[in-house]
Structure formats: C-alpha cells, structure tokens
Structure 1
Amino acid sequence: MKAWKWWLAMLSVAAMPVHAADFKLGYINVERIYREAGASIAIYKKLDKEFSDRREELKKMETRAKDLESQLGGNSLSQDDRKRFEREYASLDRDYRAKSRELAEDYNQRRNEEFAGVTERANRVVKEIAQRENYDLILQDAVYINPKFDLTPQVLKELDK
C-alpha cells in the first residue's frame, strides 16, 4: 500500500467516533495464505512439475560448465583445446544466463496467473468473514499486529473447505 493511502486510512480510522466495544479489527497475513493454503500448495507443485524440464536443462548446463572449468584449470591442454573449451564455456555461459532469465520470467508470470484465483477467493472469504462476524476493518499489510487480531488461520480453514 502506498504511504499516502496508508496515512489516509489511518486518519480515517482515527477520525471515526470509535468506542472500543463497538470497533472490531482483524488482520490477515497474505504471504502465509500463499504459503499454506491447500490451493497454494497445489499451485506450487503444479508449477514445479511444469518447469522441471527447464530446471533440469539448467542443471545439466551447470554441470558442463563445471567440467569445462576444471579442464581449463589444468595445464595439460593444448592451445587449440584450451581455445575451444574457452569458446564453449563462453557460449554456455551466455545460453545459461539467457535461459535462466527466461525461466524466471516465465515462472513468475505463470505463478501470478495461478495465484490470481487464490487471491480472488481469499478476498471473497475475508469479506464473508467480515460481514458474518461484523468486522469494521480488516488489514492485510502492517508492521506489527497483535496475534489476537490475526484472522489468517480462520481464512486458511475456510479456503481449504
């Protein structure tokens, strides 16, 4: 949340005529929901499977690069072999960096696509809890929250139904 939005929200809360008994506050930890919800765990497993071949290809490239490094570290190579291995290593390094970057970008895009549904469902569950239990304010970003206000376990439970 942008700083000015946060301050505006806090000023709005502070300006409300609040009686402690009438005001009900809650908090949810979105990162915990993304880590622990059953749907989230299933998404991570799905993505791991979807991207496993590409990760394996990168591991093979790493292994080959280590082999080339060890061969280049020795003194038993001829000038021609040394130049050939150095060219191969440079080419492998370029390919590795490009494929690694592409993998990270593709993975992040797919993760965001998959988690859009989890976010939508979690927001719906939070709104249902807020209406059902008469919450006045439910936060999801805060520096510190007293654990008694944490609704995350309840949200996780309802998400996993």
Structure 2
Amino acid sequence: MKFYQSSKWIQVGIIAALTAMAAPQVFAQDAGTRVAVVNSEKVFNESNLAKAMQTRLQNEFTKRQNDLRDSAQKIKSAAEKLDRDAAVMNEAERIRRQRELAEQDRELQRKQREFTEDLNQRTFEERAKIAEKANAVLKQIAEQRKIDVIVQEAAYVSPKADVTDDVIKALNSQK
C-alpha cells in the first residue's frame, strides 16, 4: 500500500516535470505572435468617413431638433402665461388650460423620445458602415505587416503597436 502511494507521488512529480519542461516551449511559440492595437473611437471621430457621417446626420436631424426646441419654448411660454393669468381666471378655464399644457407636454416628450430613437438608430447604421470599411482596412494592414492579432481599446498601448492613425489614413484615402 505504501508503494502505491509513493508511486503515485512519483507520477505526479513526473507530470509536473514534463509540464515545466513543456511550458517554455509554449511561451516561446507565443512570443512570436505579433499584436497591434486600434482605437476604434478615434477612427469613428477623426476619419473623413466619420466627419461626413456627422454632417449627414446633422443635416438629416437639425430641422426636427429645431422643431422640438421651438415646441418646448412654446409650452414653456404658455405655462408662464398660465401662471401669471391663473389668479384672474375662473376655475374651469384654468383646469382646461392646465390639461392642454399637460397634453402638449406629453406629446412633446413622445416626439423627443422618437427623435432620440431615430437619431440613435441612424448613428448605429452609419457607424456600422464605417466599421465594415475599417475592418477591411485592418485586415489589409494585418496581412501587410504580418500581424497575428489586432485588439481594440487596450488599457495601454505602445506607440509602435498602435495602428489607429494608419487605419484613419487608409480610410481617408478611399473614395
């Protein structure tokens, strides 16, 4: 019985020794891996495609945004007028105007939610187009430089591993 227990420990020792001998080989293989990093937010903010996207979205949504701002101002003015005139109004008229204002405010809030949802959806769609083009550029850069892995948003990046500016430059050179 004692022989069995000691042979068990020998087996564990042999496995540990083999693992220790194999570990440097595994790490040596990984040491050849080439890694680069891209800051996707910088690409989304600084590339010509991103700037064109911002202009398109601004042109598409400015009128609605101004309309919402005008409606909010009208409601605010009407509420201030109601506050000033409430003392001289009869009860029924005051309640009617309060209900109208509440209804107008609910309608404005609904329109603001729709505006925000539409803007977010369009932004998502436009960013997806940029991401698709950026991923194609990243693949080209990886093939040209023989990079094995490209990581997004690293906590720390050595300038020699950062390919963000190269991606922006390549995107800007596209039509």
TM-score normalised according to structure 1 size: 0.80
Residues in 2 aligned to 1:16 and 1:72: alpha-carbon distance in whole angstroms: 78
Residue of 38, 63, 77 corresponding to 1:53: 63
Partner of 1:85: 97
Partner of 1:9: none
TM-score normalised according to structure 2 size: 0.74
Is 1:143 paired with 2:155? yes
Consecutive unaligned residues in structure 1, runs of 5 or more? 1-13
Structure number with bigger Rg: 2
Superposition RMSD on alpha carbons, in Å?
2.0
Residues in 2 aligned to 1:15 and 1:61: alpha-carbon distance in whole angstroms: 65
Partner of 2:145: 133
Identity level (%):
33
Give the letter aligned to residue 169 of structure 2: K
Partner of 1:11: none
**How many equivalent pairs are there?**
146
Secondary structure at the aligned position of 1:18 is classed as helix
Residues in 2 aligned to 1:67 and 1:16: alpha-carbon distance in whole angstroms: 73
Partner of 1:159: 171
Secondary structure at the aligned position of 1:160 is classed as helix
- CA deviations 1:63-112 (Å, max 9, x no partner) are 01220232233255413443233122201111111111111111121222
Greater shift in the superposed pair: 49-58 or 106-115:
106-115
Residues in 2 aligned to 1:41 and 1:84: alpha-carbon distance in whole angstroms: 48
- CA deviations 1:27-76 (Å, max 9, x no partner) are 11111111111111111111111112211110111101220232233255
Residue of 109, 113, 116 corresponding to 1:97: 109
Consecutive unaligned residues in structure 2, runs of 5 or more? 1-25
Residues in 2 aligned to 1:142 and 1:77: alpha-carbon distance in whole angstroms: 65
Residues 88 and 126 of structure 1, relative CA distance in 2, 3 Å threshold: same
Q: Would the aligned equivalents of 1:122 and 1:159 in 2 still touch at CA under 8 Å?
A: yes
Residues in 1 aligned to 2:55 and 2:157: alpha-carbon distance in whole angstroms: 31
Residue correspondence of structure 1 range 28-39 to structure 2 within 5 A: 28-39=38-49
Is 1:119 paired with 2:131? yes
Partner of 2:82: 72
More helix by share: 2
Cα deviation for residue 15 of structure 1 reads 6.2
Secondary structure at the aligned position of 2:30 is classed as coil
Is 1:106 paired with 2:118? yes
